Structure 1
Amino acid sequence: MFTAFIFPDILLYILDMIGIVACAIAGTLLAQHKGFDIAGCILVAMVNAIGGGTLRDMALDRHPLFWMTDLNYLIVITVTSLILQIFANLYHKIDNALKLFDAIGLAAFSVIGFNVALDQGMLPVIAIMMGVWTAIIGGLLRDIICNEIPLLLQREIYISASIVGSVTYLLLEHWGMPARLNEFIMLSVIFAVRMLALRFDWHLPSIRLVG
């Protein structure tokens, strides 16, 4: 599945798992805050971590779903959620690391979703959409389940970072950039945009009519 990437398969797989862990942590934290039980926290963690990839595969008619052929995804999510529930104070010690992992996950998921769609012969605009879906839909579903206004709809630089990376890939491809190097650049751009947004508190503007 990942043979087209510049990274060795195992490295991209590790990046994918870092994103899975970060999303599982975020889902568990919100579920705990809402008073969910153990099973509820694990469920929200799973929705957050694999929801985007699942909807992507369904939209592209790719079967079986990725987590059905690799149970490591479900195992990592479950173990991560249980550890966080047992050691509730752990989050406060890894807050900065979590933001770093989240940015890596956003970049890795975007690259994976984007390239999966291209491999399926989809148009560039659909590939961009699939990259976004893979990266952010899980968090959107998590917030809906927990009755929260989705963070992604609150001017956060999430969707924008994924789109910027995808558009960068398409432009460089048009100018003859080798595919494998281009994928590395795409991942780096998404990661950099997200980290800069966190560092300098960047937000998208809202449009308000005067009158």
Structure 2
Amino acid sequence: MADELVSPATLLYFLDMIGVIACAIAGTLLAQHKGFDISGCILVSMVNAIGGGTLRDMALDRHPLFWMTDLNYVIVITITSVVIQVFFHLYHKIDNALNLFDAIGLAAFSVIGFKVALAQDVSPLIAVMMGVWTSIVGGLMRDIICNELPLVLQREIYITASVAGSVTYLLLDHFGMDAGVNEFIMLGVIFAVRMLALRFDWHLPSIRLVK
């Protein structure tokens, strides 16, 4: 029984649901802030929560898509979005709340995308890329729908955080780290890097040629 509770499949599903809830919250907060109606907020939360995973599965030729065979994703996203809309007035600091849940989603989906890709026997480089895709594409589409400049296209420590977590996982795996423990370390590294970047205003430099 204990082995079943900590099985890789159970752990990944748990992380996936954490990411789905976090991204549904982040998407709803932004959509509500922009004045979207109930269905609009749910749509944005759906795009934010499953957009990246959908692109990942299409790229890896994994069919049917994960949310089409497990309706828990659609149900959880919808319920989360409605609840957040009802209690939106409690989130006085929209930017802080959005950044927190965005960071949680970034970390969880990076781990999911990375592990799913490794299970498909792709190269480590492609696995890192799939981790990035899973974690950023939903937020990218969310920001475009909400007429916001996407975070990932700015000098934010965002993609870098995802890559740092994936590289940490690969290094620890090389030295024999338990996979379950390694996934939580990867999760922690990504979340910590993202939150520290926000806290201390870290940015990547722009490359500009001097005329």
TM range (shorter): 0.7 to 0.9
Instruction: For 1:58-77, list aligned pairs within 5 A.
Output: 58-77=58-77
TM-score, normalisation: structure 2: 0.86
Q: Flag the 1:98–1:154 CA change in 2: closer, same or farther, 3 A.
A: closer
For residues 25-52 of structure 1, give each alpha carbon's deviation from its aligned partner in whole angstroms, at most 9, with x where no partner exists: 2222322343332212211110011100
1:174 aligned onto 2:165: no
Matched AA of 2:129: M
Instruction: For 1:23-34, list aligned pairs within 5 A.
Output: 23-34=23-34
Identity %: 80
Deviation at 1:160, TM superposition (A): 0.4
Residue 92 of structure 2 aligns with which residue?
92
Matched AA of 2:135: A
1:35 aligned onto 2:47: no
Q: Is the 8 A contact 1:104 1:191 kept in 2?
A: yes
Q: Flag the 1:87–1:100 CA change in 2: closer, same or farther, 3 A.
A: closer
Gaps in structure 1 of 5+ consecutive residues:
none
1:20 aligned onto 2:50: no
Instruction: For 1:137-152, list aligned pairs within 5 A.
Output: 137-152=137-152
Partner SS for 2:58? helix
Instruction: For 1:165-204, list aligned pairs within 5 A.
Output: 165-204=165-204
Residue 129 of structure 1 aligns with which residue?
129
RMSD: 2.7
Gaps in structure 2 of 5+ consecutive residues:
none
For residues 117-167 of structure 1, give each alpha carbon's deviation from its aligned partner in whole angstroms, at most 9, with x where no partner exists: 111011111100100011111000111222322111111111100101111
Partner SS for 1:89? helix
Q: Flag the 1:123–1:12 CA change in 2: closer, same or farther, 3 A.
A: closer
User: Within 2, Cα distance between the matches of 1:99 and 1:9?
Assistant: 28
Q: Flag the 1:41–1:94 CA change in 2: closer, same or farther, 3 A.
A: closer
Residue 159 of structure 1 aligns with which residue?
159
Matched AA of 1:21: I
Q: Flag the 1:95–1:19 CA change in 2: closer, same or farther, 3 A.
A: farther
User: Within 1, Cα distance between the matches of 2:102 and 2:151?
Assistant: 14
Aligned residues: 209
